[in-house]
Amino acid sequence: MARIAIILVLVIASLTSCRQSIQTNQPVDGYQVSFEVDPATPIVGESRVVITILDESGNPVDNARVEIRGDMAHAGMVPVLATAEGRGSGHYDAAFEWTMAGDWVVMVSATLPDGRTIEREFPITVQSR
């Protein structure tokens, strides 16, 4: 039994160590990413989302590749994916469909012109129609 336990611990340790998401990425600090939804109180159905990115000095960041992923907080739902278009002055927007009422977690991933990546998470509650 003890042998099995030791093997188990070793397997878990080796699995964990090769887990890529656990490897620490170089964080991009100081950037501000804001996320707004139109309408401001999101309801089930189509909406427009606006992302604004500012650097450490508060200057707008253009020419980034901005991807949005919305997941419902519970399991078993297909996520909503979108790529935002740049509108200048650090603004990016995209059409976004909320497929169910309830709690969502929106992940915004922005790949900056210099190749670095920023990820920010936004909790959103969507109302039913």
Partner 1 sequence: MIQLQDISVQDRPELYQPPRRDVLRLPVIGRILKHRRGRLVFQVPLLLLALLLIYDGFTGPRLASQNLATVSVWVHYRGFVILALLLFGNLFCMGCPFTIPRTIALRLSRSGRRWPRVLRNKWLAVGFFVGFLFIYEWWDLWAVPAATAWLIIAYFVGAFALEVFFAESPFCKYVCPLGTFNFVASTASPTQITVRDHETCRTCPGKECVKGQPYVLGCGTELFPPTVRSNLDCILCLDCARACPYDNVALAIRTPGRELTDANAWPRRWDVSFLVMVFAFAAVSNAFGMVPPFYELQAGLAASFGIRSEAILLLLIFVTLNLALPGAAGLLAARLSQLLSGKREPMRVSFCRFAPAFIPVAFAIWLAHYGFHFATGALTLIPVMQNFLLDHGLSWLGTEPNWMLGPLVPGNWILPIQTIIVLAGFAGSLFVGRRIGERDYESPAAGIRAMLPWLVVFLGLALAALAMFNLPMEMRGTINMGG
Judged by CB under 8 A, does residue 129 bind partner 1?
Answer: yes
- Candidates 17-25, 55-63, 85-93, 108-116; binding stretch for partner 1 (CB under 8 A): 17-25
**The amino acid at 84:** A
What is the closest distance, in whole angstroms, from the C-beta atom of residue 39 to partner 1 in the complex? 18
Give the strand order in the sheet containing 91-98. 32-38, 45-54, 91-98, 80-88, 65-72
- Cα separation values, 124 from 16, 25, 33, Å: 31, 26, 15
Shortest Å distance, C-beta 17 to partner 1 = 10
> Which residues sit opposite 22 in a β-bridge?
none
Residue 51 contacts partner 1 per CB under 8 A: no
Q: Based on CB atoms, which residue is closest to partner 1, 54 or 107?
A: 107
115: left (phi over 0), alpha (psi -120 to 50) or beta: left
Q: Give contact residues for partner 1 (rule: CB under 8 A).
A: 1, 8, 12, 15-16, 18-22, 44, 69, 71-79, 81, 100-103, 105, 123, 125, 128-129
